[in-house]
Structures are given as structure tokens and as C-alpha cells.
């Protein structure tokens, strides 16, 4: 894991440290999957507050931390804002097609549930 050199730099696993079981764990939670879907739909990184979740702020922070610590997202500070972006290149290099298939399955499930 990268070393934290100041309070404004967050630790992220290196590409070689990202494990499939950890990525799947991170994506298994509906709130975290919602975050990933919103990040995937956007063209730019989003702040934590750009993604509204129906949970407390501390729970939201937990979900973002799980995604970051398991290599799904990268978080960086821009001024006082914490920016979030998918680590799509890393995930694609390690697990080709996984992220796209998960996003497609989530979309299909949402349509199926809406039609029910």
C-alpha cells in the first residue's frame, strides 16, 4: 500500500495489491455499487457530496473508504474537496471486463425490479 506522507494524501493499494475477492466484496454492497455506478456514468471525478446516499455521513465515509482500500476508486484532495474516480484502468488490466459486466448486471437488475 502506498505510504501516507501527510493528512491530505490517502493510502491506496498498488495495482499489484488489488485482489479479486476484495473488489467483489467492495462491489457487493448496494450503496457501494451505487457509488461505482455514478462514478462510471460521469465523465469526471466526483466529490463525495456529489453522490447522495440514503445513509448517514459516517456510513457514507465508510463506504468510500472500503471502495478506496480495496482498489475500486482513487480518492484525491483538490483544495478541501475529496475527489473520487474509478480505477478503471487498473481494474481492467487485472480483471478484464469485470467492471463492465458488473455495471451491466446492475443496470439489468434495476430494469427488472422496476418492471416487477
Adjacent-strand bridge partners of 86: 73
Alpha helices for the chain (secondary structure H): 20-28, 30-41, 57-69, 88-94, 98-115
**What string of pLDDT tens digits covers the 116 residues of the chain?**
655 555 688 999 999 999 999 999 999 999 999 999 999 999 899 999 999 999 999 999 999 999 999 999 999 999 889 999 999 999 999 999 999 999 999 999 999 999 98
Amino acid at each position: 500500500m502506498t505510504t501516507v506522507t501527510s493528512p491530505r494524501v490517502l493510502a491506496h493499494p498498488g495495482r499489484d495489491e488489488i485482489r479479486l475477492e476484495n473488489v467483489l466484496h467492495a462491489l457487493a454492497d448496494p450503496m457501494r455499487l451505487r457509488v461505482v455506478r455514478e462514478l462510471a456514468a460521469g465523465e469526471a471525478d466526483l466529490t463525495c457530496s456529489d453522490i447522495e446516499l440514503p445513509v448517514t455521513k459516517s456510513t457514507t465515509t465508510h463506504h468510500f473508504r472500503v471502495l478506496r482500500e480495496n482498489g475500486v476508486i482513487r480518492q484525491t484532495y483538490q483544495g478541501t474537496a475529496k475527489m473520487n474516480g474509478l480505477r478503471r484502468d487498473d481494474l481492467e488490466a487485472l480483471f478484464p471486463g469485470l467492471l463492465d459486466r458488473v455495471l451491466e448486471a446492475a443496470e439489468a437488475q434495476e430494469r427488472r425490479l422496476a418492471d416487477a
